[in-house]
Amino acid sequence: MRSSPTHHLRAMAPHQPRLHPVILLLPFLSLVAHCPGSHGTPALPPTYDASMCVDSPPFWCGGVEIHYPFYLANATADHGAAAPSFSCGYTDLKISCQDDDGETNKTPVIQLGRDNYTVQAIFYNNNSLLLADTDVLRAAAAAGDCPRVRHNVSFDGAWLRSNTSSSHDNNLTFFFACYPKLVGDPGWAIGGSDTEKHRINCGEFSNDPPGGGGDSFVFVADELDRAQEYVLAAHCREVVTVPVRSEVLDLVMASDRSVLARGGYGDVLRQGFELVWTRSTEDQCYRCESSGGRCAYGYDKAFLGCLCHGKVGEPYCKNSGASTVPPATACLF
């Protein structure tokens, strides 16, 4: 029967000098020092070109300046076989520079969920960006003032969030393809005496597809009470709520609130909505950025490494003076 390593240590104890505690820790520390880049995702390869992130100038697309923590997907894909697996920035902040006419006009587009949004501006001074639904912009160009909104705005919140701290945030709620006679109701007065003034009244507006026919309505958040919302939702095939900018909404409705349903909502949607991005609080990325580096993430949002001038840092850019915590010690926390 084989004895355990513990048994051997005890048997040797009377005949061997006692080791200093620091010496006993060395093998452990040598193992721990390799912990960055684990998390179940392979670390960046040593051949990865870190300069593409740290040293390259900002990209421009459609008049919008794009740099870290955003990254241009089209450019990243050109830097070797490994590049498509990694991002020079936060995973969800990938921007595609799309051709509008195949030649000169470019449009920066970011995905929220599975839907495309045109990036109208990025404000790096306050970590905010202005987006507009790409489908709405195209529909507005084709159908005029009353585009059909197809989906809610959704994102997982890992890096992006609504600007709840700002007074500039508001919502529009749309009820599409509504049929009061489905349950024998006499008319839209059941939703409140003022429901009719919210009915979308544009000659070019169409519910097709997907709901088809019926009436459709648009409400500002403070105009829709819970009872009214319940009744309309029960009679309409689709309900969509989207964020808008309060200052644009107020300007459009300044003279007449009913102008919204006559096509004014299209103007509001074309002016977009605001989101803010938050600096990563994940320990390794925070230390990387504090040392002057840029965080690289996988498409699964796992932190892969710190991109420094001319190299990949482990786990941050050394000799920067930004951190006094040794890499091995940092792994213990």
Question: How confident is the model at residue 75, as a pLDDT?
Answer: 53
The answer to whether 305 touches 296, Cβ cutoff 8 Å, is yes
Q: Parallel, antiparallel, or unpaired: how do β-strands 94-99 and 71-72 relate? A: parallel
Residue 119's pLDDT band, with cuts at 50, 70 and 90, is very high
Tens of pLDDT, residue by residue over 212-267, are: 678 889 999 888 888 888 888 888 889 999 999 999 999 999 878 888 999 899 99
Lowest average pLDDT, out of 79-83, 105-109, 179-183, goes to 79-83
Gyration radius from the chain CA atoms: 28
Is residue 115 within a helix (H) or strand (E), and if so which, with residue range? strand 115-123
Mean local confidence (pLDDT), 101-111: 81
Mean pLDDT of 98-111: 81
Task: Report pTM.
Answer: 0.75
Least confident piece of the model among 13-17, 92-96, 225-229 = 13-17
Q: Higher model confidence: residue 104 or residue 239?
A: 239
- What amino acid occupies position 16? Q
Q: Are 216 and 200 in contact (CB under 8 A)?
A: yes
pLDDT of residue 9: 39
- What is the Cα–Cα distance from 229 to 218, expressed in whole angstroms? 11
Q: Which residue has the higher pLDDT, 185 or 267?
A: 267
Tens of pLDDT, residue by residue over 23-66, are 443 343 333 333 333 344 456 665 566 665 766 678 889 999 99
The DSSP result for 58-108, as a single string, is: PEEETTEEE-TTSEEHHHHTTS-TTGGGEEEB-GGGEEEEEESSSSS-EEE
pLDDT at 130 over 90: yes
Q: Of residues 205 and 26, which shows the higher confidence score?
A: 205
Strand partners, 320: none
Q: Half-sphere exposure (CA, 13 Å, Cβ side) for 293?
A: 29
283-331 residue pLDDT tens: 788 888 888 888 888 888 888 888 887 777 666 787 654 443 433 333 3
Residue 203 and residue 168 in contact, taking contact as beta carbons nearer than 8 Å: no
pLDDT at residue 66, as a whole number: 92
